[in-house]
Structure 1
Amino acid sequence: MEFVFIRHGQGEHVLNLPKSLHTSDPALTEEGIIQAKKLKKQFPLLQTDVIVSSPMRRTLQTVQIWSEGIKCQKIVSPLVSPRMFPQNPEWQTLPCDEILTKQKVKDDFTDIYLEEEQSNEWWLKGINTLTDKEFKGIAEGFLKWCKQMGNKRIYIVSHDGTITSYKQFITGQDLTRNDFPKETGFLKVNF
Structure 2
Amino acid sequence: MELIFIRHGQGEHTLDIPSSLQIKNPSLTPKGVIQAQLLRNQFPLTNKDIVFISPIRRTLQTAFIWSENIDCSKIVSPLVSPRMFPILPDKNTLPCDKIIDLEIIKEEYPTFEIDMNVPLDLWADGINVMLESKFLKIAEEFITDCKLLQKEKIYIVSHDGTITSYRQLISGQNLTRKDFPYETGWFQISC
Query: What's the TM-score once normalised by structure 2's chain length?
Result: 0.98
Structure 1 CA distance, aligned partners of 2:132 and 2:150? 28
Extract unaligned runs of 5+ from structure 1. none
CA RMSD of superposed structures (Å): 0.7
Letter in 2 for 1:170: I
1:11-65 Cα offsets, whole Å, 9 max, x none, are: 0100111100000000100000000000000001111000000000100100010
DSSP-derived class of the 2:52 partner: strand
Structure 1 position 145, deviation (Å)? 1.4
Please show how residues 151-190 of structure 1 align to structure 2 within 5 Å.
Answer: 151-190=151-190
Instruction: Report the counterpart of residue 90 of structure 1 in structure 2.
Output: 90
Supply the AA of the counterpart residue of 2:12: E
**1:187 aligned counterpart, secondary structure:** strand
Alignment of 1:23-62 (within 5 A): 23-62=23-62
Count how many residue pairs are aligned between Structure 1 and Structure 2.
191
Deviation at 1:177, TM superposition (A): 0.2
1:76 corresponding residue in structure 2:
76
- The amino acid across from 1:81 in the alignment is S
Deviation at 1:101, TM superposition (A): 1.6
The CA deviation at 1:151 is 1.1
Identity of aligned residues (%): 52
Question: Shift in Å at residue 77 of structure 1?
Answer: 0.3
Q: How far apart are the structure 2 equivalents of 1:146 and 1:57?
A: 23
Q: CA deviation at 1:128?
A: 0.2
Find the aligned partners of 2:175 and 2:133 in 1 and give their Cα distance.
16
- CA offset at residue 149 of structure 1? 1.4
Structure 1 segments (4+ residues) deviating >4 Å: none
CA distance in 1, matches of 2:63, 2:4: 13
More displaced 10-residue stretch of structure 1: 83-92 or 181-190: 83-92
- Name the CA distance, whole Å, in 1 between partners of 2:100 and 2:45: 26
Question: Which is worse superposed, 110-119 or 161-170?
Answer: 110-119
In the alignment, the residues of structure 2 paired with residue 91 and residue 190 of structure 1 have an alpha-carbon distance, to the nearest angstrom, of 32
